[in-house]
Structure 1
Amino acid sequence: MAKVSSGLAYPERFYAAASYAGFDGSADSTVGAVASKFSNETALLLYALHKQATLGPCNMPKPKSWKPIEHSKWTSWNGLGDMPSTEAMRLFVKILEEEDPGWYSRVSNNVVEPMVDVKMNNPEVVVAPDNGNAYPEMKTVATVNGHFLESQDKDVVSEGLEVVSVYDQWVSPPVSGKHPKARYEHGAAVIEDKMYIFGGNHNGRYLNDLQVLDMRSWSWSKVEVQERTDGMTSPCAGHSLIPWDGNKLLSVGGHSRDPSETLQVKVFDLPTCTWSTLKTYGKPPISRGGHSVVHVGTTLVIFGGQDANRSLLNDLHILDLESMTWDEMDPVGVPPSPRSDHAAAVHADRYLLIFGGGSHSACFNDLHVLDLQTMEWSRPIQQGEIPSPRAGHSGVTIGENWFIVGGGDNKSGVSETIVLNMSTLVWSVVTTVQGRVSLASEGATVVLSSYSGEDILVAFGGYNGRYNNEVNVLKPSHKTSLQTKLTERPVPDSLSAVQNNTNATRDLESELGMGQEGKTREIVMENTDSERNIPKVEEMNKNLVAVLKAEKEELESSLANERMHAQQLRQELTEAETRNGDLYKELQSLRGQLAAEQSRCFKLEVDVAELRQKLQTMETLRKEVEILQRQKAASEQAALDARQRQSSGGVWGWLAGTPPDQRANIDES
């Protein structure tokens, strides 16, 4: 999915986008300039959003029907209703970035990114001469117990990663070597303490370089790829990079300038430094980017994404890496809605988890689970600190903990690093970064590595209004505080927690059963303490048994009612989802019809302009004909007058006695 800028500064960014698109505040004819850059439908929508943002809701009278372009512009603007101007600004910038992701870089050449003196480990800030803007690099970008760690931390500067003794904070290590070009939507993978970075997007241009960060020496270097005729990769972004077979990298899918019809899997062999195309069998998926790929056993599981026509997907495909065969799966249950730029993880080699992502107009924070054994989708109940909607985030798993970093919600970058306990499905916040830093951005990557025998998260790149090439490191704790704050009831078994959380009535039944077990234990203790008075104990037991039976019947009745209610809710949910699907299809159909009508209106306007030009030409010809007619009439009148004068000269000659021969000569002359 094309990204919406994180951390947008409105309205300054809106006016920059409007100027770039061609809306310079002049007459409405600017829509023509916009139409020259984008499609007619996009130009009309940008026009309407610009009017809504600058002038507010449409209060102009409806144009006459014989003015199709003006009518289309009025209809688009009027259709926005009472949309707030800030929302119109946000949508304007969002649509512009979807159509032209690199527009901002072309109008912001005066911004100079920071340069860092690696040897001295001190930030060298380069100030742009025209506006004086500068962005100093922060050596520590996290908070610990709510206190911000200053960038001038001398321990960090002097000792590098040795200071990563505090858990759950992001630290920027002193990295040497030539840094890769800033980018986002790249791929990242770790093999033998080395993080490989491939491809990505920079200023709207796709990349195909392969960079490596040695996480023992923390130095960057570029991998010199040996060219081969069968596998030289084209620049791409939105792909996935997967480590495979100990010394290979798999690049799966991605967007490119000349996309293929089907999803391509490229293989990079580390010993030979060569790319090749993986030969597969079966029916491969259509080409896409922004999808998710997880490695489960000997298979790759691919879900969702966005194809070359910007259509969102929610299909599921599996590639067997032993037989190299594709299979398209059709699980039961309700799948996630079509989306891209989501995160995926696998738990216990059985459960595929899908979190977040975005469509063309919204971001999600829903969690979906696919049982890879039964091939059934479910949507479990999330607990704890539920994350906000986001897309373009990245995730990595450590045991049963799934860490999610970054992302954006079409308004700003997400500053929290969160973790999901995949056994209890409880969310917690690990830490929060401050300011406009690379960690709060879209399209960054996070990988799992180790340092001094402990797990660390390594983040690289991203886009939050500017492209980043920074490296940040976090050492996560494995304390119970990261598991859950809601530990009042027993924790379910790790393999069945997902299924248990998908059915509220099942939880209720478990709680009721445990309540009865507790009461039975109390009875046993009372009987033990009352051995000296057996008759009273027996009578008490009978009464308690009667009470328990009555309570059991009441609880069973309540449980049956809850089950019926849950069944009704599931049925209503299914009906609502069906209606929603029908409405979505109808909306897509109406959008298609509207686009066709708008295109036809533009064509009719062109035809009308041509006819008007022809009418003007005909009017000019008519005037020329009138002039010629008048000239002809004048010529005829002059000839008639000449004949009359000649005839009158002959009579006077006869009266004067002129001979006929002379009169004839006179007449001839």
Structure 2
Amino acid sequence: MRAFDLQTNTWSILKTYGKQPASLGGQSVPLVGTSLVIFGRQDAKRSPGVPPSPCSDHAVAVHAERYLFIFGGGFTRYLPTQQGDIPAPTVGHAGVTIGENWFIVGGGDSKSGVSETIVLNMSTFVWSVVTTVEGRVPVASEGLSLVVSTYNGEDVIVSFGEYNGRYNNEVNVLKPSHKPTLPVKAIESPLPDSVSAAHNATNATRDLESEVEAVPDGRRDFVVDNIEKDPRKSRNGGTAEHLLATLKAEKEELESSLNKEKLSLQLRQEISEAETRNTDLYKVDVAELKQKLQMMETLQKELELLQRQEAASEQAALMAKQKQNSGGMWTWITGTPPSLKLDGV
């Protein structure tokens, strides 16, 4: 997996972990939160992938953090009534979303590449042509990848690579901008419950204008005007009330989570203080024990000294007694041992 830095125009390799997916092609990889979701793909034998329903050479976009829109590919999901410049079936294209707008770039029909960059308003299902390129350029080919990023505070759409008879590693940039909207007839056909809950028909679409700017390092910049960046402006009053209720519920949930975090932090602080107190008490106990041990060693040395002095005193007393009781050789010669002497002799 590689990453492209828009500030420095440099590539880098990202380190990944876990079991890597098989080397296949034709898949779509939308960004959902902080995760890349691989959907569909095929190998050289054109065998289908694993569930969810297998398909390839399609484009996918995430809307309202709940729905996946699938365009083209091997299978067709729910097909709503569409208006505007409805595109022809293609494969090998790529798509990204900005607000309620879904941009589709590149692709082909096995005969030629698609030169138009198109956009779908996912609330009104109205298609519009953003810009058209001329010649065999990378953005009018199959197999390119597309991502939304920010450059100098603006949303930009970055494309990389493609195949139009030969492989290409060119990078192209599309810059959307905003202008007032024009009215359009609302969608009259009913939508399924699972879709209509998130797509209330509105009376707004976009008049898309574009121009091409030259940029350094061989990149192309396409500036697109009149792309609505705030989806709430096209919602009706009921949706606004629903959004307000949702934000209120999220606020209460965040406050509850914040209170839990505060309580958890307080408990951790109390545990840390208790551990600190226990550590201080342990240090005091160790110091007292060391002091007592030193006192015991001193007493032991004094006791040993007294024992040696006592032994020396006893030895000296014994020798003095023996010397006092001994009368010398003359006493034995005269036949009167010291223990048999008479009084006065």
TM-score by length of 1: 0.27
More helix by share: 1
Structure with larger RCO (C-alpha < 8 A, sep 6+):
1
More strand by share: 2
TM-score by length of 2: 0.49
